[in-house]
Structure 1
């Protein structure tokens, strides 16, 4: 089975430069049947699995971490179907050989279709989420591709625009150990592009593009892959340098989009050295530790305190 179904000349031009939406064949693979996903949830190491719920707004502050207990994969899927739950099976490709083989094929096809595309680190996880689940407004530190497999998902994608997120707000994500949420300004919505994904569709966008997600009344299964390129590593380190200098010394650097050539290279090298030396700034930890709820397939929204 080929993974990429319709990679056209236009797709090739847009890939990593603009919002790119195309089709794939992963939803036809038995590796992603509901029964296979139930088994995968059951056997996947719990230390590499996230179980979360959120309120109807989907804001990051409402997200809580849950304990799946000893529930079977079938019971957990039943809770997801009736609740407002989000499961992320992290490091999927590093743990399960059959999925690693599929990942290798996916990125071999991507490199064949896109000369010059050379990712240096590839990770990914399986996302299983409820009909009412939402993912808040955020940006990813790495290039990300969302491969939709089952259900209906609405994705809101925003441009690199100061009314959406300033450089200072983007830097905050890179300076934080794990938090990826951005401040959601109401005026950002006029810039949003909305995409309704069906099974067999993939969407991706340029690095650091803000986005948010809403499920549309069905159980959702998606594969999220993230990868790093030398160019992305350089940009992240340059922004890290700007963030530290801004917060420690009050320096106001020029917009990162206006920084090129030697100027960008100096910041990249300085940022890399800062990270290696552990130079950072204090950032607020937005989440409380520990489990905040237990999953219960028979409880309202699939959870109990």
Structure 2
């Protein structure tokens, strides 16, 4: 397991720790460290976030909360939901064993300004060509009780996890390591359930470990499995991400259906023509379903 150091100086803007050209080559491929200006920012105080959580609760699907004992092998949406109101959860966050996920906080203009700063940083890393593939910037706030674990999982987006308050350890795997994240799991992520990743005991040995403190950030590539151990205080982290074109995910969707037919489909990236053909087939099926619903 590779361990990366933590950085403690407070920055005034987003920046990469390693040279920009190196990070451009590693974007979407390898985890790397970055710095951000949001450490202990007033918009991420518990009082401010309690209001944001109330706003998110009024939007369908934009607030997730669970509480209880948790292991890395547990699925993130199988933990019991707390029998508490949002104000009660914030009041008891030190002892509740809770994990709160606040989605689309950028609907508030004050947070949108911070997302715009991140977007400019990410597009600078991506460069002129890479920027053409990225869209739909999003901000997700994660609030975690002391010593709480977060599940082994992977995501579809290009993601930067920024630590604002408290500290934690995060393990990030190589997104191409199929002993950790299989093709079948990625296909199921896009078609069956977005918690399709399954923890494997050897994952920690091949993962890269980062310790995050306020001001630290880590780039988590698309499909890179990762999991988190919070330290002894309440943690506030912000997940900043941008999406790839739909055809990438549609290729995996097509492979899922082909595999169900008993075939062994080529992984995405083997042939651009085949990938585009699969994506076109899924898009056509989507349009047919849309017409039927009408």
**Quick check: TM above 0.5?**
yes
Unaligned runs of 5+ residues in structure 2 are 1-10
The CA distance in 2 between the partners of 1:89 and 1:197, in whole Å, is 20
Matched, 1:252 2:267: no
The CA distance in 1 between the partners of 2:267 and 2:53, in whole Å, is 43
Matched, 1:4 2:14: yes
Is contact 2:173-2:180 (8 Å) kept? yes
Q: Greater CA deviation, 46-55 or 237-246?
A: 46-55
The CA distance in 1 between the partners of 2:179 and 2:126, in whole Å, is 32
Matched, 1:199 2:209: no
Matched, 1:142 2:153: no
Q: Give secondary structure in 2 for the equivalent of 1:66.
A: coil
Q: 1:54 to 1:179 in 2, by over 3 A?
A: farther
The CA distance in 2 between the partners of 1:135 and 1:278, in whole Å, is 36
Matched, 1:272 2:283: yes
The CA distance in 1 between the partners of 2:171 and 2:289, in whole Å, is 35
- What CA deviation, in whole Å up to 9, does each residue of 1:203-250 have, x standing for no partner? 1232111111111221000111222123xx222111110001111x11
Name 2:7's counterpart in structure 1.
none
Q: Greater CA deviation, 7-16 or 114-123?
A: 7-16
Is contact 2:186-2:196 (8 Å) kept? no
Is contact 1:156-1:192 (8 Å) kept? yes
Name 1:168's counterpart in structure 2.
184
Matched, 1:49 2:63: yes
Query: 1:86 Cα deviation (Å)?
Result: 0.6
Q: CA RMSD in A?
A: 2.4
- Give the structure-2-normalised TM-score: 0.82
- Give the structure-1-normalised TM-score: 0.79
- What CA deviation, in whole Å up to 9, does each residue of 1:244-302 have, x standing for no partner? 1111x111112335x122122212222333344459xxxxxxxxxxxxxxxxxxxxxxx
Unaligned runs of 5+ residues in structure 1 are 280-305
Name 1:33's counterpart in structure 2.
45
Matched, 1:182 2:197: yes
Aligned residues: 270
Is contact 2:40-2:165 (8 Å) kept? no
Q: Greater CA deviation, 28-37 or 148-157?
A: 28-37
The CA distance in 2 between the partners of 1:270 and 1:87, in whole Å, is 37
Which among 247, 250, 253 is matched to residue 237 of structure 1? 250
